[in-house]
Structure formats: structure tokens, C-alpha cells
Amino acid sequence: MATEPLPLQKTESADPGPAGAPEDSVPAAGSTGEPLVRFDKVVKRYGDHVVLDQLDFTVDRGEHVTLIGPSGSGKTTILRLLMTLEKVSDGVIWVNGSPLSHVRTPGGALKPAGEKQLRESRKKIGMVFQQFNLFPN
């Protein structure tokens, strides 16, 4: 059974963040005023199966974002792309105004990043799953 893609929707957060955390404690976006995260026409394919098709969305400074959808709708794929655990098939993911999985050539064009650049990107971002086992308990 094929799963229909769901549109991404932004909602206002009722949670102001940790108590006493100043707004300035959120990492600043790039100096150009870029969003913290921007998916720009991102496509992800596994063989002939298109999982994400021309996905565009941004996450601005201070926003809290939740991905909600049925199994198979692309939530984990989005996170794996953001973590550079998967490579985009097409499009670009930007973080703080810099391409996450691409590098700029001397002429300014973008080309897919090599493994060395991807390792550097992975050092700067992380995620913890809902069911996590960071520490034995």
C-alpha cells in the first residue's frame, strides 16, 4: 500500500523553551539572516521509489518543529538526511546558510560533498530517538 505524502505544516509552539533560557541562547542563524535549516527542493529516492519529492521547508531561529505522519511518510528519512546518514538524490539542505551535504567549487557552484566533509558535518549535529538507550537504567 502506497503512503500519500503529507504536507508540512508549521504550528505555533505553546512551549517557550526551558525556564530561564534567554532567547539569545538559541544558536544564531548565518550572518545573512538565513534560516537555521532549509530544505531546498530535496528529493530522496531508493531505486525507483521516490520517498521525498521536491521537499521545501525552513526552520527559523528559535522555532520548535515536530514531524508527524504515518509510517512510511518520510519522517525518519528527513532526519537521516539532516544527519547526513543518507545522501540527497537531488536538491540541497542548508544549515546556518551553508550547504550541509554539498561543497562550493572555486566558481561558486555546488557539488556533492565527499566523505571527509560529511564526517565534519556529522560532528556538529545530533539526534536522540524517542526510544533511546544512552545510559543503562
Is residue 135 in a domain?
no
CA triple 92-94-98, angle to 5 deg = 115
In-domain check, residue 107: yes
CATH of the domain at 74: 3.40.50.300
> What is the predicted pLDDT for the residue at 12?
57
In three-state form (DSSP H/G/I as H, E/B as E, the rest C), the secondary structure along 40-82 is EEEEEEECCEEEEEEEEEEECCCCCCCCCCCCCCCHHHHHHHH
| Structural domain contains residue 92 | yes
Residue 130 included in any domain: no
Taking the C-alpha atoms of residue 100 and residue 113, their distance in angstroms, rounded to an integer, is 8
Residue 90 in any domain: the answer is: yes
The CA–CA distances, whole Å, from 25 to 11, 21, 115, 120, 135 equal 22, 7, 31, 23, 27
Say if CB 37 and CB 10 are below 8 A apart.
no
108 Cβ contact list (under 8 Å, min separation 6): none
**By residue range, what is the domain housing residue 36?**
31-122
**pLDDT digit of tens for each residue in the chain (137 aa)?**
455 555 555 555 545 444 444 444 444 444 457 899 999 999 999 999 999 999 999 999 899 888 899 998 999 999 999 988 899 999 999 988 888 888 888 988 988 888 888 888 888 887 777 776 667 76
Q: Is residue 35 part of a domain?
A: yes
The answer to whether residues 122 and 84 touch, using CB atoms and an 8 Å cutoff, is yes
What is the structure's pLDDT at 27? 44
Is 48 a member of any domain?
A: yes
Domain count, the chain: 1
Domain presence at residue 96: yes
pTM recorded for the entire structure? 0.69
User: Is 100 in contact with 94 (CB distance < 8 Å)?
Assistant: yes
pLDDT tens-digit profile of 72-94? 899 999 999 998 889 999 999 99
Res 8: pLDDT = 58
Residues 6+ apart with CB under 8 A from 72: 3
